[in-house]
Amino acid sequence: MPPTITAFDRSPDGGKGLARDTRVRWALEEVGRPYEVRLVSFQAMKEPAHLALHPFGQIPTYEEGDLALFETGSIVLHIAERHAGLLPDDANARARAISWMFAAVNTVEPPILELVTARILESDKPWTKERLPLVMDRVRDRLKQLAACLGDADWLDGAFSAGDLMMVSVLLRLRASGVLDEYPSLAAYVARGEARPAYKRAFEAQRAVNTR
Ligand code: GTB
Protein backbone atom coordinates (compact mmCIF):
# COMPACT_ATOMS: atom_id res chain seq x y z
CA MET A 1 0.00 0.00 0.00
CA PRO A 2 1.40 3.41 -0.87
CA PRO A 3 1.62 5.96 1.95
CA THR A 4 -1.04 8.66 2.15
CA ILE A 5 -0.16 12.26 2.82
CA THR A 6 -2.46 15.18 3.51
CA ALA A 7 -2.43 18.52 1.74
CA PHE A 8 -4.61 21.64 1.55
CA ASP A 9 -7.65 21.09 -0.65
CA ARG A 10 -6.80 24.59 -1.88
CA SER A 11 -3.53 26.17 -0.84
CA PRO A 12 -3.64 29.91 -0.09
CA ASP A 13 -0.65 30.31 -2.44
CA GLY A 14 -2.74 29.13 -5.40
CA GLY A 15 -0.23 26.45 -6.41
CA LYS A 16 3.17 28.13 -5.92
CA GLY A 17 4.27 25.03 -4.02
CA LEU A 18 5.00 26.83 -0.76
CA ALA A 19 2.79 24.73 1.50
CA ARG A 20 4.76 22.00 3.18
CA ASP A 21 3.18 19.03 1.47
CA THR A 22 5.51 19.95 -1.44
CA ARG A 23 8.53 18.99 0.69
CA VAL A 24 7.04 15.57 1.41
CA ARG A 25 5.96 15.06 -2.20
CA TRP A 26 9.50 16.00 -3.30
CA ALA A 27 11.08 13.47 -0.91
CA LEU A 28 8.75 10.72 -2.12
CA GLU A 29 9.50 11.60 -5.73
CA GLU A 30 13.28 11.57 -5.08
CA VAL A 31 13.12 8.02 -3.71
CA GLY A 32 10.61 6.83 -6.30
CA ARG A 33 7.89 5.96 -3.81
CA PRO A 34 4.31 6.28 -5.16
CA TYR A 35 1.92 7.99 -2.75
CA GLU A 36 -1.68 9.02 -2.34
CA VAL A 37 -2.96 12.39 -1.22
CA ARG A 38 -5.97 13.18 0.92
CA LEU A 39 -7.00 16.79 0.53
CA VAL A 40 -8.31 18.55 3.62
CA SER A 41 -10.08 21.86 4.13
CA PHE A 42 -9.05 24.31 6.87
CA GLN A 43 -12.20 23.30 8.73
CA ALA A 44 -11.53 19.55 8.44
CA MET A 45 -7.99 20.09 9.78
CA LYS A 46 -9.45 21.20 13.11
CA GLU A 47 -11.86 18.28 13.43
CA PRO A 48 -11.21 15.17 15.55
CA ALA A 49 -10.38 12.83 12.67
CA HIS A 50 -7.51 15.03 11.51
CA LEU A 51 -6.47 16.08 15.03
CA ALA A 52 -5.96 12.38 15.78
CA LEU A 53 -3.23 12.45 13.11
CA HIS A 54 -1.89 15.94 13.72
CA PRO A 55 -2.11 17.41 17.23
CA PHE A 56 -1.87 20.96 15.88
CA GLY A 57 -4.48 20.52 13.16
CA GLN A 58 -2.14 21.16 10.25
CA ILE A 59 -0.88 19.55 7.05
CA PRO A 60 1.10 17.60 6.03
CA THR A 61 0.60 14.23 7.69
CA TYR A 62 1.86 10.84 6.56
CA GLU A 63 0.15 7.47 7.01
CA GLU A 64 1.74 4.18 6.13
CA GLY A 65 0.20 0.98 7.50
CA ASP A 66 -0.21 1.54 11.22
CA LEU A 67 2.27 4.41 11.31
CA ALA A 68 0.98 8.00 11.37
CA LEU A 69 3.43 10.91 11.38
CA PHE A 70 3.20 14.68 11.49
CA GLU A 71 5.94 17.37 11.15
CA THR A 72 7.46 17.72 7.72
CA GLY A 73 11.02 17.26 8.97
CA SER A 74 10.23 13.96 10.66
CA ILE A 75 8.27 12.74 7.65
CA VAL A 76 11.12 13.57 5.25
CA LEU A 77 13.63 11.94 7.60
CA HIS A 78 11.46 8.82 7.82
CA ILE A 79 11.31 8.59 4.02
CA ALA A 80 15.04 9.25 3.70
CA GLU A 81 15.94 6.61 6.28
CA ARG A 82 13.86 3.90 4.63
CA HIS A 83 14.73 4.46 0.99
CA ALA A 84 17.96 5.03 -0.86
CA GLY A 85 18.67 8.39 -2.44
CA LEU A 86 18.32 11.07 0.21
CA LEU A 87 20.97 10.21 2.80
CA PRO A 88 24.57 9.09 2.29
CA ASP A 89 25.63 5.57 3.31
CA ASP A 90 28.64 6.76 5.32
CA ALA A 91 27.49 7.21 8.94
CA ASN A 92 29.23 10.54 9.51
CA ALA A 93 28.07 12.00 6.20
CA ARG A 94 24.56 10.81 7.05
CA ALA A 95 24.67 12.55 10.42
CA ARG A 96 25.88 15.75 8.75
CA ALA A 97 23.05 15.62 6.19
CA ILE A 98 20.56 15.28 9.06
CA SER A 99 22.22 18.28 10.74
CA TRP A 100 21.45 20.29 7.61
CA MET A 101 17.82 19.21 7.78
CA PHE A 102 17.61 20.55 11.32
CA ALA A 103 19.54 23.68 10.38
CA ALA A 104 17.03 24.36 7.62
CA VAL A 105 13.96 24.23 9.85
CA ASN A 106 15.48 25.32 13.13
CA THR A 107 18.04 27.99 12.21
CA VAL A 108 17.35 29.30 8.70
CA GLU A 109 13.56 29.06 8.52
CA PRO A 110 12.60 30.99 11.70
CA PRO A 111 13.80 34.43 10.48
CA ILE A 112 12.32 33.67 7.05
CA LEU A 113 8.95 32.97 8.66
CA GLU A 114 9.25 36.22 10.61
CA LEU A 115 9.78 38.01 7.33
CA VAL A 116 6.81 36.30 5.68
CA THR A 117 4.67 37.22 8.68
CA ALA A 118 5.83 40.84 8.63
CA ARG A 119 5.39 41.25 4.86
CA ILE A 120 2.04 39.52 4.55
CA LEU A 121 0.12 38.97 7.78
CA GLU A 122 1.26 42.12 9.58
CA SER A 123 1.78 44.46 6.65
CA ASP A 124 -1.04 46.75 7.84
CA LYS A 125 0.29 47.12 11.39
CA PRO A 126 1.69 50.53 12.32
CA TRP A 127 4.95 49.07 13.62
CA THR A 128 5.74 46.94 10.57
CA LYS A 129 7.54 49.74 8.72
CA GLU A 130 9.97 50.08 11.60
CA ARG A 131 10.30 46.35 12.22
CA LEU A 132 10.76 45.15 8.66
CA PRO A 133 14.39 46.32 8.25
CA LEU A 134 15.35 44.50 11.47
CA VAL A 135 13.72 41.30 10.27
CA MET A 136 15.37 41.66 6.85
CA ASP A 137 18.76 42.03 8.52
CA ARG A 138 18.22 38.82 10.49
CA VAL A 139 17.41 37.01 7.25
CA ARG A 140 20.47 38.52 5.54
CA ASP A 141 22.71 37.40 8.42
CA ARG A 142 21.60 33.80 7.94
CA LEU A 143 21.86 33.95 4.15
CA LYS A 144 25.36 35.35 4.33
CA GLN A 145 26.43 32.52 6.65
CA LEU A 146 24.71 29.91 4.50
CA ALA A 147 26.28 31.27 1.31
CA ALA A 148 29.70 31.06 3.01
CA CYS A 149 29.07 27.37 3.86
CA LEU A 150 27.90 26.54 0.38
CA GLY A 151 30.83 28.32 -1.30
CA ASP A 152 30.93 27.29 -4.93
CA ALA A 153 29.65 23.77 -4.28
CA ASP A 154 26.43 22.51 -5.82
CA TRP A 155 25.05 21.11 -2.55
CA LEU A 156 25.72 21.67 1.14
CA ASP A 157 27.76 18.54 1.85
CA GLY A 158 28.71 16.41 -1.13
CA ALA A 159 25.86 14.83 -3.06
CA PHE A 160 22.28 16.17 -2.94
CA SER A 161 20.62 15.02 0.30
CA ALA A 162 17.53 15.47 2.44
CA GLY A 163 19.43 18.41 3.98
CA ASP A 164 19.42 20.18 0.61
CA LEU A 165 15.78 19.24 0.01
CA MET A 166 14.78 20.94 3.25
CA MET A 167 17.10 23.92 2.79
CA VAL A 168 15.98 24.65 -0.77
CA SER A 169 12.35 24.33 0.34
CA VAL A 170 12.91 26.83 3.15
CA LEU A 171 14.72 29.30 0.87
CA LEU A 172 11.93 29.13 -1.70
CA ARG A 173 9.70 30.99 0.72
CA LEU A 174 12.00 34.02 0.30
CA ARG A 175 11.62 34.37 -3.43
CA ALA A 176 8.72 36.83 -3.35
CA SER A 177 10.68 39.20 -1.07
CA GLY A 178 13.52 39.58 -3.61
CA VAL A 179 16.15 39.11 -0.89
CA LEU A 180 17.30 35.74 -2.24
CA ASP A 181 18.58 37.49 -5.37
CA GLU A 182 21.02 39.45 -3.21
CA TYR A 183 22.86 36.12 -2.79
CA PRO A 184 23.43 34.80 -6.33
CA SER A 185 25.02 31.54 -5.16
CA LEU A 186 21.95 30.77 -3.04
CA ALA A 187 19.58 31.76 -5.84
CA ALA A 188 21.49 29.34 -8.10
CA TYR A 189 21.35 26.66 -5.37
CA VAL A 190 17.57 27.01 -5.18
CA ALA A 191 17.33 26.90 -8.98
CA ARG A 192 19.36 23.65 -8.99
CA GLY A 193 16.87 22.17 -6.53
CA GLU A 194 13.91 23.27 -8.63
CA ALA A 195 15.53 21.81 -11.74
CA ARG A 196 15.57 18.30 -10.26
CA PRO A 197 13.04 16.08 -12.03
CA ALA A 198 11.67 14.91 -8.66
CA TYR A 199 11.02 18.51 -7.58
CA LYS A 200 9.31 19.25 -10.87
CA ARG A 201 7.00 16.25 -10.46
CA ALA A 202 6.18 17.26 -6.88
CA PHE A 203 5.55 20.85 -7.91
CA GLU A 204 3.30 19.88 -10.80
CA ALA A 205 1.31 17.49 -8.61
CA GLN A 206 0.50 20.18 -6.05
CA ARG A 207 -0.11 22.76 -8.79
CA ALA A 208 -2.65 20.47 -10.45
CA VAL A 209 -4.59 20.33 -7.17
CA ASN A 210 -4.44 24.04 -6.51
CA THR A 211 -5.33 25.26 -9.98
CA ARG A 212 -8.17 22.83 -10.70
N1 GTB B 1 6.11 22.54 11.75
C2 GTB B 1 5.06 22.02 10.89
C3 GTB B 1 5.67 21.17 9.77
O4 GTB B 1 6.80 21.46 9.38
O5 GTB B 1 5.03 20.21 9.31
C6 GTB B 1 4.29 23.21 10.32
C7 GTB B 1 3.11 22.74 9.48
C8 GTB B 1 2.38 23.93 8.91
O9 GTB B 1 2.76 25.12 9.10
N10 GTB B 1 1.32 23.63 8.16
C11 GTB B 1 0.53 24.66 7.55
C12 GTB B 1 -0.92 24.49 7.96
O13 GTB B 1 -1.43 23.41 8.02
C14 GTB B 1 0.60 24.51 6.02
S15 GTB B 1 2.27 24.71 5.44
N16 GTB B 1 -1.59 25.62 8.22
C17 GTB B 1 -2.98 25.62 8.57
C18 GTB B 1 -3.21 25.90 10.00
O19 GTB B 1 -2.25 26.00 10.79
O20 GTB B 1 -4.40 26.04 10.35
C21 GTB B 1 2.57 26.48 5.81
C22 GTB B 1 2.17 27.32 4.65
C23 GTB B 1 0.87 27.71 4.47
C24 GTB B 1 0.54 28.54 3.38
C25 GTB B 1 1.52 28.95 2.52
N26 GTB B 1 1.21 29.80 1.43
O27 GTB B 1 0.04 30.01 1.11
O28 GTB B 1 2.13 30.37 0.80
C29 GTB B 1 2.82 28.56 2.71
C30 GTB B 1 3.14 27.73 3.78
* Local mean pLDDT, 10-residue blocks, the chain (212 residues): 97 97 98 98 98 98 98 98 98 98 98 95 94 96 98 98 98 95 98 98 98 95
**Do the strands 4-8 and 61-64 form a parallel or antiparallel pair, or are they unpaired?**
antiparallel
Q: Please, which residues have CB within 8 angstroms of residue 128's CB and are 6 or more apart in sequence?
A: 118, 122
Domain spanning 4-85+198-210, CATH class: alpha beta
Q: Are 156 and 93 in contact (CB under 8 A)?
A: no
CATH 1.10.630.10 for domain 91-196: no
For the chain, the domains span 4-85+198-210, 91-196
Q: pTM for this structure? A: 0.98
Q: What is the pLDDT of residues 159-197, one digit of tens each?
A: 999 999 999 999 999 999 999 999 999 999 999 999 999
Around ligand 1, the residues with Cβ closer than 6 Å are 11-13, 18-20, 42, 45, 57-59, 71-72
At residue 66, φ and ψ (nearest 5 deg) are -95, 15
User: What number of residues does the chain have?
Assistant: 212
Atom number in ligand 1 closest to CA 45: 20
User: What was the pLDDT predicted at 181?
Assistant: 97
Expressed in angstroms and rounded, the spacing between residue 146 Cα and the centre of ligand 1 is: 24
Residue identifier of the C-alpha nearest atom 12 of ligand 1: 58
Q: What pLDDT shows up at residue 92?
A: 98
What contacts 102, CB < 8 A, 6 or more positions away? 73
The reported pLDDT for the residue numbered 48 is 98
Nearest CA to ligand 1 atom 16: 58
Provide the phi-psi class of 198: left if phi over 0, else alpha when psi is between -120 and 50, else beta.
Answer: alpha
Q: Work out which ligand 1 atom sits closest to the CA atom of 18.
A: 29
What pLDDT is attached to residue 170? 98
